[in-house]
A and B are shown apart, each in its own frame.
Chain A
Amino acid sequence: MGQDVASGGDPQADRENVIRNAERTDPGMVRRHAQQRLVSMVAGPIWVGVSVLVMRLYFRYRIADVRRVRASYRRIRAESKAPLLICANHLTMVDSFLIAWALGSGLYWLLHPDELPWNTPERKNFGRTRLQRFLIFVAKCIPITRGGAREDVGEVLERVKYLVAQGETACIFPEAGRSRTGRVEENAAAWGVGRIVGAVPGCRVLCVYQRGRKQTTWGDWPEPGDTLDVSIACIEPKSDARGVRRSRDLAQQIVRQLMRMEEEHFDARK
């Protein structure tokens, strides 16, 4: 048993406090977020459509049993209006696109734009040129420099906390970077994801395990023509700990869930 957050016990009211606090302490961030959200929504038909076409026609990826995956996702969404953070294993630079595509069709995301997850790509990979920065701005990305100045990392986490509290969602990789061993590693887990979950009362976590059938380890993208197996599970991490211990505890719960899903993935292929 654990508590979501030290509060009066009303998660909705607590989430509204998170939002009001952000509006009061960082109105610039709130304004920038609203602008980027609007641009992304307006440009959605273009960038979402192009992304789907590139994955389907250029890379020729397939999501195995995609209807079942998407139906499961819609069912999880329908079960509760509580905030939802997506956490997934990380093997390639295009995981965010693959995960979004697995969870919903291009048309689904155009009709439910606030459900389309925000992402936090590594600035060194995706934010080096002006064109890259423009494209990721349009594509709902908030670049982060892993290992960068703590204030900058903290600002990104605060923004993700804010957007999740107000009902949008983000896709975060608890391992932070792509797994160099090709497997989910508990000791590689960063605690930023735990910080977000711990700060948004009632936050659920949609764990997504995805892997190409030809994928043996990390890389830039799955081999063209690959079929990806995707499994999802919704958890509600809780912790009685406080401070950074609480964030680490929550992050570890998420990573352990992903490790279980990975084990099931490989067991199913024996």
Chain B
Amino acid sequence: MDRAEVMDRVVKILTPWVKDEAALAKVSMETNILEDLKVNSARLVDVVIAFEDDFDIEIADEDVDQVNTVGDAVNLISGKL
């Protein structure tokens, strides 16, 4: 699976939790999940679990510390595939 495909799936997974649809429309690898997409930080665990289920991977708590942007999520997931 290439990075573009991973990114498409990541954005699809994030969509239900995104509160800024305008930011979602112009999402890029640099888009910040909390600041730009306005995902509630308390819901981040649900997002990460959705990543795990969709990609069939396991993500440790410490890995989540590295995920600020969509690109960080794509890189983390790609590294585990």
Residues of chain A having any CB pair with chain B under 8 Å: 146-151, 153-154, 175-176, 188-191, 195, 198-199, 242-245, 247-248, 251
Q: Which of B35, B42, B52, B58 has the most CB of A within 10 A?
A: B42
Which 6 A-B residue pairings sit nearest by Cβ, starting from the closest?
A: A154-B65, A191-B45, A147-B41, A190-B42, A150-B65, A195-B61
B46, B60, B65: the one within 8 Å of A153 (CB): B65
Within 8 A of A (CB), among B1-58: 34-35, 40-42, 44-46, 48-49, 52, 58
Contact B60 A176 (CB under 8 A): no
Q: How long is the Cα–Cα vector from A190 to B43 in the complex, in angstroms? A: 7
CB distance from B17 to the nearest CB of A (A): 12
Docked complex Cα distance between A248 and B62 (Å): 14
- Chain B residues with CB under 8 Å of A251's CB are 45
Chain A nearest CB, measured from B33 CB (Å): 9
B61 touches A151 (CB 8 A): no
The tally of CB-CB contacts under 8 A between chains A and B is 56
Tell me whether A244 and B65 are in contact (CB under 8 A): no
B78 contacts chain A at the CB level, 8 A cutoff: no
B66:A151 contact, CB within 8 angstroms: yes
Known: A148-B34, A244-B45. 13 other contacts (CB 8 A): A146-B41, A147-B34, A147-B35, A149-B68, A150-B65, A151-B65, A151-B66, A153-B41, A154-B64, A191-B42, A191-B45, A248-B45, A248-B46
Do residues A242 and B68 form an inter-chain contact, with CB atoms below 8 A? Answer: no
Q: Do A190 and B41 contact each other (CB < 8 Å), given the known contacts A149-B68, A151-B65?
A: yes
CB-CB under 8 A for A244 and B61, given A147-B34, A150-B67, A151-B66? yes
